[in-house]
Amino acid sequence: PATPVRLLLVDDEPGLRKATQAYLQEESFSVDTANDGEEGWEKAQQLLPDLVISDVMMPRLDGYGLLARLREDERLAGTPVVFLTAKGMTADRIAGFVAGVDDYIPKPFDPDELVARVRSVLARQQRLLAEAARFADADVGQLAKQITEIRSLLGQGGQGISGKPGGHGDGEVPQLQFTPREASVLQLVAEGLMNKQIAKQLGTSIRNVEKYVSRLFGKTSTSSRTELVRYALEHHLVD
């Protein structure tokens, strides 16, 4: 039998935590729980879950704080995160997406909708990881040629990597925030390096590089290495 998908549920409301855990377990997920962001962070490091479901407003460490720690951790950076929140404010939803959350469900929620969204986020993660992994075997010469073509098309330019891209009159340039490691991976991808070379240069595993590339796909709404490089060059995210 396949190993069940491991979820970590972080919420400071005991009733909701217990009911949600029971429902998700009925849907064949393996579910561990934590009662606030600090405990969630400790458990995430031990368990390395496939997905984290977290409340936003919690004592000690809130959902944003937990998300930031996950994104900075080499082993957990690519872990999808779904926020649960009592707030229906658009500003809060935008803040969540800017911070790198994968989905957002306002409370009170329908358990069936939560399950559907969790499955959707996991399926998307698998597609992105598969696409990121495919580059390990891509034709290096072909990719280098494509990158050269993109650079010449756009003309040489750029102000280095930045969490806040500066476009030339594009108007609606997204305000992206990259962790230092995501920025390093993006720069090396734009230089035409394969995952294996990036892993060697950064002293990490190929699997971790795949996770960073998949997160970059998600943040930039791209789905191939060529699209990612084009996006990075157009928005002056790389040298």
Rounded-to-integer distance, Cα 105 and Cα 117, Å: 9
pLDDT-flagged residues of the chain (< 70): 1-2, 87-90, 92-93, 135-144, 147, 151, 153-175
Beta bridge partners of 83: 54, 104
Give yes or no for a contact between 232 and 184, defined as CB atoms under 8 angstroms apart.
no
Which residue segments constitute the domains of the chain, with CATH numbers given?
6-128 (3.40.50.2300), 177-238 (1.10.10.10)
The DSSP output letter for 1 is: -
Q: What is the pLDDT of residues 86-100, one digit of tens each?
A: 766 667 667 777 777
pLDDT tens digit string along 138-162?
A: 555 666 677 677 767 666 544 444 4
What is the amino acid identity at position 89?
A: M
Burial 164-179 (b: 16+ CB within 10 A, else e): ebeeeeeeeebebbbb
> Can the peptide bond before residue 165 be classed as cis, meaning omega within 30 degrees of 0?
no
Question: Phi and psi (nearest 5°) for 103?
Answer: -160, 170
Crossing angle (nearest 10°) for helices 111-134 and 14-26: 60
- For the record, the structure tokens of 157 come out as 């330019």
Element (H, E) at 111: helix 111-134
The verdict on pTM exceeding 0.75 is no
Angle at 216 between CA 90 and CA 5, to 5 degrees: 80
